[in-house]
Every structure is written in structure tokens, then in C-alpha cells.
Amino acid sequence: MTIILNGDRHEVAGTRESISVSELLEQLSIDARRVAVEHNLVVLRRAAFDETVVREGDQIEIVNFVGGG
Amino acid sequence: MDTFTIAGKTFTSRLIVGTGKYSSPSVMVKAHDASGAEMITVAVRRVNISDRSKESLLDYIDTSKYFILPNTAGCYTADEAVRTARLGREAGLSNWVKLEVIGDEKTLFPDNEALIEATRILVREDFVVLPYTNDDPVACRKLEDAGAAAVMPLGAPIGSGLGIQNPNNIRIIREFSRVPVIVDAGVGTASDAALAMELGADAVLMNTAIAGAQNPVAMAEAMNLAVRAGRLAYLSGRIPRKMYANASSPVEGLVGR
């Protein structure tokens, strides 16, 4: 399954046709408490990470805080 | 005690500082401490997927001590800024946003029209919106009417260190505004921050002036003092400007007259 992750094509590991946002973050070794996720232009509440299903071609943005003014 | 309040949240320190451009996280932490700031700004950016080794900025920020204000820096449309603000809200701990919608790459001046539009949208979504704006009293009034919780006019272009370019506009904005006025951007050194406060600003927001100084920790302390000094001077009521001298010592009783 290929998704668009942070603007780039990304091959999701495994052979399943869908994956939850929580599973995707785990696969990427990203601490869910430190990021925000947008799924097909909809910003997700953290509580929705488990139930939100990512499929082929979906657009995912994962952001965090960096230094800024 | 002299405090100021935005959207029901009260602050004692009138200095707000950024987290960008520091040479190391430890310098940043020391500078934040020296600044006395209670609110610090952060940017929202994509996580680096290929290199997960970098530590998170939040590893270095004591969120029990500092209130985090996510920004929408680098956004050029209302849509981008709204998306970024929504992400910042989910990544963070509050519904506050420092709203930037940039209109020009070279000067980083705001796009007022898009800024007002984004403010309206975010206010409807219950954000506490602090827009970074031109030093234009009419733009500030429109932002206030759109529901901004404070207005943040620039002193000079972001990162320029030119100081307050249009002091009278800042004074007029303060006179007109019913919400707090925070001078955001353009401060180069302590006297610039003091001037902003003497003009009546409720607070000053800066990043580069501290992070880019040769000694950021000492400059943070200088800014801390300058903001307090400027505020105290503002409250104390300065003397009017006169065109000619007015002797401080008695004119009577001079020896030999």
C-alpha cells in the first residue's frame, strides 16, 4: 500500500489494504503524544488515531513543534 | 501587581520569546530562563520521516512553566494558516495561535486581507487568535472586529533588528485597541524593547534579537530588564518634550550675583 506521507510517496510496510493511524505512527517509531496528524486534509483528534483508517493513496501529514518565533 | 490578560489568561511577564535559531537547546533553555518570559512561541513543521534521531523541541521545554504559543509562520494563504493552526492545536496543549499569513517573501510583511479572513475562520472554531500584523491602526481594528484576542503589530520586518520604525503608529494602535497590543518583530536591542513598552504596548514578542545575539543568555536578561523598565516608565508618566532647556538647579542664590 502506497500513501502520500508529508508530501512524498511512502510504502507502508506489510501486505494489508489498510492500517490505523496509531499503527502507522508505531511503524514509523513516532511518539503519538508529540505529533499532530492530518488525514486527507482533516486534522485528527489524538483520540481518533486508533479508529482512523488509512488506505491506498491517502494523504497523511504528520507534524510536530520545532523552533520558531 | 502589574499584569496583563489575554482571553482570560493573566501574565506577569510582558516579554514573549521564541525558540528559533538558537545555537543549541541548552543555550535556549538558559535564555528563556533569563528572559523571565512565561509564554514562548514554536513553529509547526512536518516530522522528518527518514531521520527519526532528532529530539523533539518539547523535550527541552518545561510546559508546566511556559505557555506554548504555536505559530503559523511561513504560511502564505489563509487556508495554509488555518490548516497549520488546527494542527498546532492538536500537537499542543491549548487553542491559542500566533497567526501569521505572509504576503511578501523579501519583507515577510503580512497579507492583511488573508490575515483577517483566517482570523474570522479560526475565531469561529474557538481559537484564541493573536495575529501578527502590519503597524496599521486600521488593519488592527479590523482584526479586533474579526475577533482577535490581541493584535501584534510589527516594529520592523521579522529578524531585521531595525527597531520600532513607526513609533507613532504603535502609540495610535494602543490608543485605539480594546485588546492587548503586542509589538512583534523588529526588535534589535534592549532600547527597542523599552521604546515599545514606553509607547504603551502591553507586551513585546521577540526571537532573533535574543537567539542571534553574541551572548543570547545575557541579551535575554537585558530584554527582561528593558521590558520592565519601559513598562514602568510608561506607567510613571514621562515629562513633556520641550524645545529649550529648563534648569534643574535653583536659579536663585547663585554665588557672585
**pLDDT score recorded for residue A9:** 96
Mean pLDDT in residue range B38-55: 88
pLDDT at B104: 97
CB pairs under 8 A between A and B: 107
Distance (Å, whole) CA B133 – CA B111:
8
Which pLDDT score, from 0 to 100, does residue A15 have? 87
What is the DSSP secondary structure assignment for residue B54, as one 8-state letter? S
Coil, strand, or helix at residue B173? helix
CATH number, domain of A27, equals 3.10.20.30
Residue A26 in contact with partner chain B when CB distance is under 8 A: no
The number of beta carbons lying within 10 Å of the beta carbon of residue B205 is 29
Does the pLDDT of residue B146 top 90, yes or no? yes
Mean pLDDT of A25-29: 93
Q: Which residue's entry shows cell 489568561?
A: B9
Chain A positions in Cβ-Cβ contact with residue B208 (cut-off 8 Å): 69
3-state class (DSSP) for residue B196: helix
Cα–Cα distances in Å, from B223 out to A51, B28, B39, B182, B203?
47, 14, 14, 15, 12
Which chain A residues contact residue B47 at CB under 8 A? 6, 30, 35, 62-64
pLDDT band at B256 (very low <50, low <70, confident <90, very high): confident
CATH topology of domain B4-236: TIM Barrel (3.20.20)
Nearest to B52 among A29, A37, A66 (CB): A29
Q: Which of A10, A44, A69 sits opposite B90 (nearest CB)?
A: A44
Mean pLDDT of B150-160: 97
Confidence of residue B176 (pLDDT cuts 50, 70, 90): very high
**Where along chain B do its domains lie?**
4-236
pLDDT value at position A7?
95
Q: Give, for B53, the enclosing helix (H) or strand (E).
A: none
Spatial separation of the C-alpha atoms in residues A36 and A46, rounded to whole Å: 7
Q: Over 90: is that where the pLDDT of B50 sits?
A: no
Instruction: Reply yes or no on whether the pLDDT at B187 is more than 80.
Output: yes
Q: Is A69 contained in some domain?
A: no
- Round to whole Å and give the CA distance between B1 and B5: 12
Angle between helices B167-176 and B137-145 (to 10 degrees): 30
Contacts of A63 in chain B (CB under 8 A): 44-47, 87, 91
Contacts for B18 with CB less than 8 Å, ≥ 6 apart:
A67, A68, A69, B40, B41, B205, B206, B207, B208, B210, B211
Among A7, A46, A69, the residue with its CB nearest the CB of B90 is A46
Q: Give the one of A30, A45, A67 whose C-beta lies nearest to B22's C-beta.
A: A67
| Domains identified in chain A, total number | 1
Print the domain residue range for A21.
2-64
Q: Which residues of A touch B207 (CB under 8 A)?
A: 68-69
Q: What is the mean pLDDT of residues B225-236?
A: 98
Report the pLDDT averaged over residues A45-63: 96
Place of cell 534521531: B53
The confidence score (pLDDT) of residue B208 equals 97
**pLDDT for the residue B257:** 83
Q: What is the pLDDT of residue A3?
A: 96
What backbone phi and psi angles, to 5 degrees, belong to B37? -65, 150
Average pLDDT score over residue span B27-35:
98
**Shortest CA gap B72–chain A (Å):** 10
Overall average pLDDT of the B180-208 stretch: 98
SS3 assignment, position B133: strand
B window 222-251, beta carbon within 8 A of A: none
Q: With contact defined as beta carbons under 8 Å apart, do B187 and B194 qualify?
A: no
Q: Residue B52 pLDDT > 80, yes or no?
A: no
For the stretch B55-92, pLDDT in tens is 789 889 999 999 999 999 999 999 999 999 999 999 98
Q: Decide if A25 is inside a domain.
A: yes
pLDDT reported for residue B55: 73
In the numeric block, the cell 513598562 is attached to B231
Across chain B, mean pLDDT equals 96
Q: Is the pLDDT of residue B51 over 90?
A: no
CA distance B239 to chain A (A): 35
B98 is catalytic: yes
Mean pLDDT along residues B90-117: 96
Q: What is the pLDDT of residue B1?
A: 85
Judged by CB atoms closer than 8 Å, whether chains meet at A66 and B18 is answered as no
Task: Enumerate the residues of chain B whose CB falls inside 8 A of the CB of residue A35.
Answer: 47, 91
Evaluate if residue B228 carries a pLDDT over 80: yes
